[in-house]
Amino acid sequence: MTEVLLFRGARLEGGEAADLLIEDGVIAEVGTGLTRAGATVIDADGLVALPGLVDLHTHLREPGYEASETILTGSRAAAAGGYTAVFAMPNTSPVADTAGVVEQELALGEAAGYVTVQPIGAVTVGQKGERLAELGAMADSRARVRVFSDDGFCVWDPLIMRRALEYVKAFDGVIAQHAQDPRLTEGAQMNEGSVSAELGLAGWPAVAEESIIARDVLLAEHVGSRLHVCHLSTAGSVDIIRWAKKRGVNVTAEVTPHHLLLTDELARGYDARFKVNPPLRREEDVLAVREGLADGTIDIVATDHAPHPSEAKACEWQAAANGMVGLESALRVVQQAMVDTGLIVWADVARIMSRTPARIGRLADHGTPLSEGHAASVTFYDAAPVRAFSTDDLAGRSLNSPYIGRELPGEVRWTLHRGRPTVVDGLVLDTPGVRA
Amino acid sequence: MRHLLDTKTLAREEALRILDVAEDMADTQRREVKKLPTLRGKTVVNLFFEDSTRTRISFEAAAKRLSADVINFSAKGSSVSKGESLQDTAQTLQAMGADAVVIRHGASGAPRTLATSGWITAGVVNAGDGTHEHPTQALLDAFTIRKRTFGDDSRGRDLAGLRVTIVGDILHSRVARSNVWLLDTLGAEVTLVAPPTLVPQDVSAWPARILFDLDEAISYGPDALMMLRIQLERMGAAYFPTEREYSRRWGLDATRLAALGTGSMVMHPGPMNRGLEISADAADSPRSTVLEQVTNGVSVRMAVLYLLLAGTTDERGEL
């Protein structure tokens, strides 16, 4: 029997203050002045209550790259950041392109118990872009895969992309595309522009992303399929998605926290913590993706949490791995870039970081309203403090965060996954649901 | 001076100091005994991750003429995937007691990573990093232009008003980048001439005029025309159609040499592709500074090592 929790005075999605009674994994009652004999009462006065965050784009590295992250450590990082569900990208070893691998990931996620780990299946065998993986088998497996992606690689062949978009209609799936023309980005190291020209680093041009997105929205329109665009990063990409949505194309788009905050100027010191794919872009791109997120052109924020061991970053820029960890910092970055700037309110945060990602991924019992009878996956967030982000804030296995030393607002105080606490008073529990 | 990593952040006073000390060094090199005791007991490591015999022996000669001990460390193709990491190499050199590390590396920014990582305490000199910078080359080029123009009256002078035109693969050239920044700092007017495919996509922040036509550039009568080596492997990547076409449009042939004013100097960082970017006529003409550049390279590198290892420093440890 799990304990009964009564949170007093939390602002639901940043609005009215209310009490939340959590019992048997669900929100049993919402109201003011609630009492309940035997309940543990938690003062949540002033905290923002959000439906548990859902990350549509996480790299958990297991199986195969356990030196960077495991499903357990990545789940802890997720909980620390206020997440209650993460979608695990398939670029593991072996690649998650069969029912066996996705079911193993699902089982490891359940065993870890911090968050719902929902595997994403590869679109093509080995993510090689040559022939479709057994998408139906993954969809029918116990992991119930609905999102398919070759993330890390673009499904570049237009015919394979068309077939994938068509095929997943059979089970209401979606193709999440990593939009990057491989020919236009051979050896690319950073955004192509004024800074790359000075630093002598091979450029990753915006057009390599935009041309693939333009092609894919036209393909999705043509075959009447559902398309999701991963980590959109340029002003031009926002324009293309806006145009496609106006035409009625069934497309959704995500942006990462780092593309909402950081620019390619950070490459100047050749500190590989800032090396990521797609690369950090110009300030005008950052402003454009913020605007696109605020006006609904971009549907969600997803972390692209990409852990790497220190040796993959403490080296020459060119030799360093792409990627940044992001689960623990995402909500704080979104607060700084979007909420504190007045572009969106907390109810929008609930939409872009919980409700819509759950809906795109067809994940039941997540992103549900903070009302009676719904699963008690809830994040309690204190927006008031401002602190320098540090390695103490990281709960996963890797330390490659671009925010270390940077002032960020906010703190996740409590995370509940299906009624079980995973974060209590800002600390990740050693065992989910078991408080010291 | 703690490190010499680039010319982008090199102040005018620092650059002039290096050039003036190089004048002093050049004077000593006219003596019968060229060796100075200045850096006796200091250890200079030439850490070359890329082959470059010319640059390495120039640094080696510079260090030896200042009586430093020189260790040549050739570590081709090092990376996490291929073997020893830059960190391990650097820490090895630190343990051996290197006072200065002269690094040539195929990755842009590797010298900065080395200097800022905390792996070593030695001063770092960038001897060419990827397609980023090659600061001592730009310094020896500036020295050569100044010497040709002002002769014995060079000390203390900058290059104000002089027009320098650089021709070739700007996109991949660390020599071009270092020259653009340094020449601008010293007051020269810089023109870059290249096939449009070999100009970086956004050079709006560069203090240089961009032209695609070499004949037009020559018609403006530059004081110095610097021809860059063209890498033939660029053809495979479709930067230009053929060697012949490149040579015809952007090579310094006899006709263009004749069109160039007699007062203009012809420069090349070497090694030259004779008959491709530069004709034998141009390379061997009295206007060519190619061999002076080599000679001056030693003096400039002596100056850099001297200022790094024996130079006066203020409390900030700066030059």
What is the Cα–Cα distance from A406 to A404, expressed in whole angstroms? 6
- B307: which 2 tokens? 């200022």
Q: Does A312 touch chain B (CB under 8 A)?
A: yes
Same domain, residue pair B187 and B93:
no
The pLDDT value given to residue B310: 86
The reply to whether B229 and B81 lie within a common domain is no
Q: Which residues of B touch A316 (CB under 8 A)?
A: 79, 86, 105, 107, 109-110, 113
Question: What distance in Å separates the CA atoms of residue A321 and residue A309, rounded to the nearest whole number?
Answer: 9
Q: Is residue B81 part of a domain?
A: yes
Chain B neighbours among A 56-95 (CB < 8 Å)? none
Q: In the structure encoding, which two tokens stand for residue B172, read together?
A: 């991949």
Residue B51: the pLDDT is 84
- Phi, psi values for residue B18, rounded to 5°: -60, -45
> In this structure, is residue B2 part of a structural domain?
no
- DSSP letter (8 states) at residue B231: P
Asked whether residue B5 is assigned to any structural domain, the reply reads no
**Residues B111 and B158 grouped into a single domain:** no
Sheet with A147-148: list strands edge to edge: A147-148, A174-177, A227-229, A251-255, A300-301
Residues in chain B whose Cβ is within 8 Å of chain A? 8, 79-81, 85-87, 105-110, 112-113, 116-117, 129-133, 174, 177, 200-206
Contact B105 A316 (CB under 8 A): yes
- Spell out the SS3 assignment of chain A: CCCCEEEEEEEECCCCEEEEEEECCEEEEEECCCCCCCCEEEECCCCEEEECEEEEEECCCCCCCCCCCCHHHHHHHHHHCCEEEEEECCCCCCCCCCHHHHHHHHHHHHHHCCCEEEECECCEHHHCCCCECCHHHHHHCCCCCCEECCCCCCCCCHHHHHHHHHHHHHHCCEEEECCCCCHHHCCCCEECCHHHHHHCCCEECHHHHHHHHHHHHHHHHHHCCCEEECCCCCHHHHHHHHHHHHHCCCEEEEECHHHHHCCHHHHHHCCHHHCCCCCCCCHHHHHHHHHHHHCCCCCEECCCECCCCHHHCCCCHHHCCCCECCCCCHHHHHHHHHHCCCCCCHHHHHHHHHHHHHHHCCCCCCCCCCCCCCECCEEEEEEEEEEECCHHHCCCCCCCCCCCCCEEEEEEEEEEECCEEEEECCEECCECCECC
The domains of chain A are located at 51-360
Same domain flag for B272 and B205:
yes
- Residue B81's pLDDT is 42
B161/B254 same-domain check:
yes
Element of type H or E holding B127: strand B123-129
Q: How far is A392 from chain B (nearest CA, A)?
A: 22
Selected for mutation to probe chain B from A198, A266, A273 (highest B CB count within 10 Å) is A198
Q: How far apart are CA B116 and CA A409, in angstroms?
A: 29
B160 and B285 share a domain?
A: yes
CA A313 – CA A292 distance, rounded (Å): 31
Given a contact cutoff of 8 angstroms between Cβ atoms, the answer to whether A400 and A323 are in contact is yes
Peptide bond into A94 cis (omega under 30): yes
| Paired strand residues for B44 | B70, B100
- Is B138 exposed, middle or buried (CB count within 10 Å of its CB: 0-12, 13-18, 19+)? buried
Residue B65 DSSP SS3: helix
In a domain, B317, yes or no: no
Tell me the β-bridge partners of A324.
A305
Contact A416, A82 (CB under 8 A): no
* Residues 6+ positions from A1 with CB-CB distance below 8 Å: none
Q: What is the dihedral of CA A318, A321, A324, A327, to 10 degrees?
A: 170
Contact A317 B87 (CB under 8 A): no
**Can you give the pTM of this predicted structure?**
0.95
Distance from CA of B39 to the nearest CA of A (A): 30
**Domain span at B106:** 12-133+294-309
User: ∠ CA B211-B213-B215 to the nearest 5 degrees?
Assistant: 125
- Residues B245-262: b if buried by 16+ CB within 10 A, e if exposed: ebbeebbbbeebbeebee
Write the CATH number for B270.
3.40.50.1370
Both B117 and B158 in one domain: the answer is no
Assigned token pair, A350: 């609930």
Same domain membership, residue B140 and residue B122: no
Q: Do B201 and A270 touch (CB under 8 A)?
A: no
- C-alpha torsion angle, residues B208, B210, B211, B212 (rounded to 10): 140
Question: What is the bridge-based pairing of β-strands A26-31 and A17-23?
Answer: antiparallel
What pLDDT does A138 receive? 98
Within a 13 Å sphere around the CA of A11, how many CA atoms are in the beta-carbon half? 15
Q: Which chain B residue lies closest to A187 (C-alpha atoms)?
A: B107
For residue A303, give the amino acid letter: T
**Rounded-to-integer distance, Cα A242 and Cα A226, Å:** 16
Look up residue B201 and give its DSSP letter: S
Phi, psi dihedrals of residue A266, rounded to the nearest 5°: -70, -15
Which one of the listed residues A285, A304, A348, A393 is annotated catalytic? A304
Do the Cβ atoms of A318 and B117 come within 8 Å? no
CA-CA-CA-CA torsion sign (A388, A393, A399, A402): negative
Instruction: Examine the domain organization and report whether B117 and B250 are in the same domain.
Output: no
Nearest to B132 among A200, A269, A314 (CB): A200
**Would you say how long chain A is, in residues?**
436
Whole-number Å distance between alpha carbons of A342 and A187:
39
Q: How much is the pLDDT for B82?
A: 57
Q: What is the C-alpha separation between A198 and B14, in angstroms, rounded? A: 21
A304 given a catalytic annotation: yes
CATH 3.20.20.140 fits A51-360, yes or no: yes
Task: Please tell me which of the candidates B80, B116, B205 has its beta carbon nearest to residue A315.
Answer: B80
Q: Please name which of A73, A28, A36, A20 lies closest in space to residue A414, comparing C-alpha atoms.
A: A20
DSSP B155-176: TT---TT-EEEEES--TT-HHH
CA distance linking residue B319 with residue B316, whole number of Å: 9
Is B319 among the domain residues?
Answer: no
Q: Count contacts between A and B (CB, < 8 Å).
A: 85
The answer to whether A345 contacts chain B (CB < 8 Å) is no
b/e for B111-136, b at 16 or more Cβ within 10 A? bbbbbeeebbebbbbbbbbbbbbbbb
Same domain, yes or no, for B149 and B273? Answer: yes
d(CA B183, CA B159): 7
Query: CA A165 from chain center: how many Å?
Result: 22
CB contact under 8 A, B86 and A194: no
Please give the residue of chain A at the shortest CA–CA distance from B86. Answer: A315
Ranges in chain B, pLDDT < 70:
76-83, 311-319
Q: What is the pLDDT of residues B259-303, one digit of tens each?
A: 998 999 999 999 999 999 999 999 999 999 999 999 999 999 999
Which residues between 238 and 257 in chain A have a beta carbon less than 8 angstroms from any beta carbon of chain B? none
Judgement on whether residues B149 and B288 belong to the same structural domain of the protein = yes
* DSSP 8-state assignment for residue B270: S
Tell me whether residues B86 and A312 touch, CB distance under 8 A: no
Residues 6+ away with beta carbon under 8 Å from A271: none
* Closest residue, chain B, to A268 (C-alpha): B109
Number of domains in chain B: 2
A187 touches chain B (CB under 8 A): no
| Chain B residue with Cα closest to A316 | B110
Q: Which of B219, B243, B248, B218 minimizes the C-alpha distance to B232?
A: B243
Q: Does A196 touch chain B (CB under 8 A)?
A: yes
Q: Which of helix, strand or coil describes residue B90?
A: helix
Instruction: Give the residue from chain B lying closest to A194, CA to CA.
Output: B202
| CA–CA dist A349, A49 (Å, integer) | 11
Asked if B109 and A198 come within 8 Å (Cβ–Cβ), the reply is no
Q: How many CB atoms lie within 10 A of CB A230?
A: 24
State whether B204 and B128 are in the same domain. no
With a cut of 70, which residues of chain A have pLDDT below it? 1, 436
Closest CA to B198 of B154, B147, B250, B152: B250
In angstroms, the CA A305 to CA B315 distance is: 43
Mutate to test the interface with B, among A184, A190, A207, A316 (most CBs of B within 10 A): A316
Q: In the prediction, which pLDDT does A280 show?
A: 98
What's the DSSP call for residue B109?
T
- Contacts for A37 with CB less than 8 Å, ≥ 6 apart: none
ipTM value, please give it. 0.93
